[in-house]
Every structure is written in C-alpha cells, then in structure tokens.
Structure 1
Amino acid sequence: MTQALDIQHTLTKKIKPDEDKLGFGIHFTDHMFILDYTADKGWHQPRIIPYQPIVLDPAAKVFHYGQTVFEGLKAYKTEDGRILLFRPEQNLQRLNRSNERLSIPYLDEELALDALKQLIVVDQDWIPSKAGTSLYIRPFIIATEALLGVAPSTRYQFMIIMSPVGPYYSEGVNPVKIFVESQYVRAVNGGVGEAKTAGNYAAGLKAQEGATDKGYSQVLWLDGVHRKYIEEVGSMNVFFKINGTVHTPALNGSILDGITRKSIIQLLKHWNIPVVERTISIEELYEHHAKGELEEAFGTGTAAVISPIGELNWQDQKISLNGGQTGELSTKLYQTLTGIQNGILPDPFNWMVEATAISSHS
C-alpha cells in the first residue's frame, strides 16, 4: 500500500528541555503522526501534523470498551550522528498480534515503519545525545466510532507520538525490591495478557499501589489460576540465573512476548550461556535460594532494558539476591544491549535499523 504522506510543519516550535532533566514520558516533540481507518476506505490519509490535542466524541468506543493497543520503542543518536531504531519491525508485528486479539484491523507494517522514520527525521533535533538518553516512541491505536453498542469499532486512528527521555536509572543500574503479589492477578491464559493493551496495565495499578506503600518498587505477578507460577515483574519479563543456567517463564498466552526478552535470549545463546523457557513456581525459586543456587534475577523491558532484583518478599518471607548487589550477568547484558542500541558495540544480529526519510511515501 502506497499512500502520499502529507507533512504539515509546526509554525511554533517548542523549547527543548534540559537533557539532564528529561525524566520519562514528560516532554513531547513538535510533531505527531496520524492515520485514519473507516470500514469503507480502510487505513487512509497518513499525515504528520504539529503535536496537539485530539478531539473525540464522548461515545467513542475506546472510552467505554477499552479497544486500544500500543507499542513502545526507542531511537538513539550515535556519536557519528546516525539515528538508530532497535528492532522496530518486531514492535509492528506485535502491534498487529495485539490488533488481532482486540478485533482491530490489520495495519500495513511497511507503511507504519516508513511513517515512523519520516516522523523521526522531521523531529530529529529532539533526539537527545547525552549518554543514557534516547527518543521514546509510542505508536498506538484507538477505537473512535461514536456508538455504545458492544461490538468492534468501525473507525480507528493510529497515532505515533515521541518523547525525549533520560536514563531509566539516574544513578546506574541498581537492584530493586520486589513484592510477590498473591491477591490480585494481571492476566490469564485466554484473556488479553499477551496483547499490549491498556487494560492489562490498568489491572496492575492496585497491586502496584499496595507494593509501593510497603516500600517495594514493583510487583512479581503469579499466574491467575494456581497463584503459584511466576509470570512477569511489573510490566517487564523476568529472568532467574540458577546454577549457571538462566530460566525465564515460557510464553503461555498471558505473558507478553517482550522484544527485550527475545533479544536477551538471543544474546545468552550467542554467549553459550544455557537459557531455558519453562514454567517456574515461586516455591521452587525459594527452594533454590535456600540451597544457595539462585544467583541473579532481573526484569527486562524497553524502558529500563535490565532491572536487577535485589530482594523478594513472598508471604512475608524476604530473601536477598546476590547480596542485594547487581549481578555480573545483569551488568554484562545491560552494557552489551545498550552498547548495541547506541551504535557503540558491534551488532552481530542486525537488530538496529537506521532511520532515514522514505521517498516512496512522500
């Protein structure tokens, strides 16, 4: 599908924030991308416009039935001035898998990637260059049909907004304390846990509040049926190093197929470090700790890349991992992945995609 991309440049550029005070998802670039969908035309009218509020009818289905999906990825500026994206085709493939689960029409991935590159080129001055910074990119789709009947929408908008962000950790990669959640569940097999949709995150807020009140950074989610098998940590995938082998919960229909997760598994195999995707119970994890076999644990995701776990609290049983220090493997994974993303280290997997304007859609 080839459609002319209309670009409307802003007449009033924003003042860019101090790169030392970016935070995460606070500031937004000068422009955004929009693509419309109607049942009769399909996806149409791709355009880049000045960043602005959107106007929706109060009856828009996104507000009432949560028909929405999103993605998150980053762009990096290298020392030689190139703009690199980390595995963007994986994000768009996953977006379409989420679309399928939420009954949202298939999105042309090539068109979306071209539009994303065009948007980055238009706002390339917003990509921070300081170490640890990047341009966070949020593609999302919302159902816009103004009709309260419970059925898939016949109208949608696909949008991309971007935000310059600082390092997720202001003082380096430090271990966090995790509360094992036994009351609430995030998702179940057959639900929408493997889709990247807003409801999954709303479902986790109550438990996160409780964990924060107890002094913990995140929640470790257990499965929704038996309440014993480990699934995710916060909104990240989770890994455990046990006796030299790295274990991570197998994808089971309620766990998100994380792109960082996939990349970590590839890196471990590349280094000939044994890695196993399987079902892991919280009891088993505690037994390994009691035997001195649980060496490291960490979460993985786009925002933090690697988040080491220093303490777990399950039913008031607290255990410390690796003496509460960041493990050797966690450090190596973080440094390698961020080095590849920033163009500092070689990219043996061809993960990085250079962002340049695509003339076929302009």
Structure 2
Amino acid sequence: MKYNFPITRTTTPKAKPDPDTLRFGQLFTDHMFIMEYTTGKGWHDGKIVPYAPLQIEPAAAVFHYAQEMFEGLKAYKSKDGRVLLFRPDMNAKRTTSTNERMCIPHLDEELMVEAIKAVVNVDKDWIPEKKGTSLYIRPFIIADEPFLGVRPSDHYLFMVILSPVGPYYEGGLAPTKIFVEDDFVRATPGGTGFAKIGGNYAAGMKSQEKAHEKGYEQVLWLDGVERKYVEEIGTSNAFFKIHDEVITAPLSGTILPGITRDSVINLLKQWGIKVSERRLTIEEVFEAGKQGKLIEMFATGTAAVISPVGELSWKDEKVVINNGEIGELSQKLYDELYGLQIGEVEDTLGWTVQV
C-alpha cells in the first residue's frame, strides 16, 4: 500500500455473529478508520483505531446544517481466501462529486481507497462467507467544527466503519412490491439528487412510511417538476425491460449515479441487449404492463445488488410484473455481478480489487 496508517488494535474483541442470523447494518466490527481535516493543513493523521463512540460538540455543524456525505460498498471473501472489493474507484469518484456539491474539502481518491483497504484488511476475519452475505463498508465525512452559522466548516472527520451483513431485503431475491410516489418529491434539477448525502434519504422517509402502511416495501420516485417521469426506487436505481429494450433514467442531476447501475449497463451492452438511458413516463410503464410488454423490472444498488420488482401500485392502478416472479434477465445479472464480487466469475473488466 502507498499509505501507511498506524493501527491501534482493540483489547476487547467482540464475538463474531452467526452468519445465518445476520441482518443488515446492525452489527459493527472491532475497528474503524478515522482521519481529520483542518483548514490550512488539509487531511491529516489517518489511523485505524478500535470501534467506539465519538466525542463531538453539540454545536457541531453536521447537526445543524447537515454538511456531510457518505458512501457504501462491500468486501467479499472468495473461496480461495482472497478479500475482494468491487469497483471502489467508482465510490471514490462519486465522493469527489458529492464533496464538491456539499462544499466539503476534496479527499484524494487513492487515499480513500487505500484507507478502505487498510481497515478491511485489519477486520477481514469479520467477512462472512455464507452465500448472500458480505462485509458492508460505510465511508463518511462529517463537519464537526462547533459553530452556529451557515458556512462551510473548517474541520471535518473522514471515517470508515464496517458491518457484516445479510441480504438488504429479508426476502433476498424475492420480488418486491413498489409504491409509486406522486405527492412527495425526492429531488429537482439543481438540487442534490445526484449526491450521496443523508438529507436525500431523510426527506424520503415520509414517503417510505406511507408505502409501508399500504403494504409496499419501497417507493418509486417520479421527477420533481412534472411528476410523470420515473426516476429512482428508494435506495436504488430503477430498470424496466419493455419488449426488447431495457430502460433506466438518465443521469441528469436528479438521480444517484449508482455503481451497480453503471455495471448493469456495461454488462447489458456486452451481452448485446438494447439498453437506453432515457426519460420514461409512468403512464408508459403502466400501458406496457397492460399490453403485456413490461417483461421485467428491477432495482440496482450496492446493498441489494439486484432486486426484482413483482408489483407496482400507482394511484388506483396496479400492475403485476412477470407473474410476481424473478425474471430471467434479473437472475442472470445477479448471478454475474455476485459471481464477479465473490471471485467465482472471471473478471475480464478489471472491476474487482484485492485487499
């Protein structure tokens, strides 16, 4: 590694969890990475320390003005014992874009990836090996300078914490039911929809709560101006296979540039499947459903990888997709991506990085 981070190991290691009962994001490993930023000094003093609560001022800027960002990726252990990350350079590039929008100081992309690799290497024994499990990696930056006033902070913390996880959705690859949101708005042009920040998710909780009350797992957002074009599904990007074309929303500044999204687009092109990044109205989706042309729908994201959709609800209409079963393409994409991530499919694209 180019960077050499000092390590302080815990004196009270925790018991490893049972991989058969793992939930998502509820347990954390023994160690974490932490680095400071100070105006005039830059990023400094990166180190690996025991996982522990932070001591932070009540007046810290992150609490009052939400100056923060986060990322998400996973580590996997292959059958031959290698520890693999999946396209961490893309997380680093997205961090650069988010930081610029949020007035957070630039974090060197190579430094970020090396920090992730370093802490994962320390806690690699926490990586579960049961199929469908992984070590979720959460890098994040918070403004922790204590002041009340709307301006960029002069001090930040960059941290990486790790969590052994099971499937994001308890049903695994079982198709989910999605509620189409046409009242609340997630993002509008010129906003922060493309950035990986907590505020985007906090603003969507009310809609997700409404969906759960109606018996649906997630929300499909429509555009924030006309409320007619499909955009994202909760924490994921949305794909629709209509007849022989796979369609996903374009990167126009209102949706997250998902790493799994980009991987899926690349694979579809490699397989000779027509894939379009274009605007698609919810009316077109439901009309295709009525005509039997909506062959498949699925969501893509780091947490779930591929999540097939079996039912959509919009206003007083419902459409069942592929008889509520996982589609052939969704299954093929999951098998290919997960196979790459765990080292069982040959990586001809250079997407996996060994720790």
Residues 128-277 of structure 1 mapped to structure 2, 5 A cutoff? 128-277=128-277
Q: 1:176 is aligned with what amino acid?
A: T
Q: 1:213 is aligned with what amino acid?
A: E
- 1:21-59 per-position Cα deviation (integer Å, ceiling 9, x unaligned): 111111101000001001021100001000000011111
The structure-2 alpha-carbon separation of the partners of 1:3 and 1:293, relative to structure 1 and needing over 3 Å to count, comes to closer
- 1:81-125 per-position Cα deviation (integer Å, ceiling 9, x unaligned): 000000001001101110000000000111121121111111111
Q: Hey, what's the Cα distance between the residues in 1 that align with 2:289 and 2:135? A: 38
Residues 1-362 of structure 1 mapped to structure 2, 5 A cutoff? 4-355=4-355
Q: Hey, what's the Cα distance between the residues in 1 that align with 2:290 and 2:177? A: 18
Q: Hey, what's the Cα distance between the residues in 2 that align with 1:116 and 1:219? A: 31
Q: Hey, what's the Cα distance between the residues in 1 that align with 2:79 and 2:168? A: 21
Q: 1:5 is aligned with what amino acid?
A: F
Partner of 1:360: none
What's the CA shift for 1:347? Answer: 1.1
5+ residue gaps in structure 2?
Answer: none
TM norm structure 1: 0.96
Q: Hey, what's the Cα distance between the residues in 2 that align with 1:283 and 1:169? A: 28
The structure-2 alpha-carbon separation of the partners of 1:289 and 1:3, relative to structure 1 and needing over 3 Å to count, comes to closer
Q: Hey, what's the Cα distance between the residues in 2 that align with 1:234 and 1:154? A: 32
Q: Hey, what's the Cα distance between the residues in 2 that align with 1:128 and 1:326? A: 26
Q: Hey, what's the Cα distance between the residues in 1 that align with 2:182 and 2:113? A: 40
What's the CA shift for 1:128? Answer: 0.8
5+ residue gaps in structure 1?
Answer: 356-362
Partner of 1:359: none
The structure-2 alpha-carbon separation of the partners of 1:66 and 1:169, relative to structure 1 and needing over 3 Å to count, comes to closer
Q: Hey, what's the Cα distance between the residues in 2 that align with 1:51 and 1:175? A: 36
Judge conservation of contact 2:3–2:114 (CA < 8 Å) in 1. no
Q: Hey, what's the Cα distance between the residues in 2 that align with 1:146 and 1:61? A: 6
Q: Hey, what's the Cα distance between the residues in 1 that align with 2:259 and 2:164? A: 20
Q: How many residues align?
A: 354
- 1:277-306 per-position Cα deviation (integer Å, ceiling 9, x unaligned): 000110111122222211100010001111
Q: Hey, what's the Cα distance between the residues in 2 that align with 1:231 and 1:47? A: 39
Q: Hey, what's the Cα distance between the residues in 2 that align with 1:66 and 1:171? A: 33
Q: 2:72 is aligned with what amino acid?
A: G
Q: Hey, what's the Cα distance between the residues in 2 that align with 1:144 and 1:171? A: 38
Q: Hey, what's the Cα distance between the residues in 1 that align with 2:65 and 2:46? A: 26
Q: 2:100 is aligned with what amino acid?
A: E
The structure-2 alpha-carbon separation of the partners of 1:171 and 1:204, relative to structure 1 and needing over 3 Å to count, comes to closer
C-alpha RMSD of matched pairs (Å): 1.0
SS at match of 1:308: strand
Moved over 6 A (4+): none
Q: Hey, what's the Cα distance between the residues in 2 that align with 1:286 and 1:163? A: 38
Q: Hey, what's the Cα distance between the residues in 2 that align with 1:115 and 1:256? A: 24
Judge conservation of contact 1:141–1:157 (CA < 8 Å) in 2. yes
TM norm structure 2: 0.98
- 1:310-329 per-position Cα deviation (integer Å, ceiling 9, x unaligned): 11111110111111111110
Q: 2:126 is aligned with what amino acid?
A: W
What's the CA shift for 1:168? Answer: 3.0
SS at match of 1:7: coil
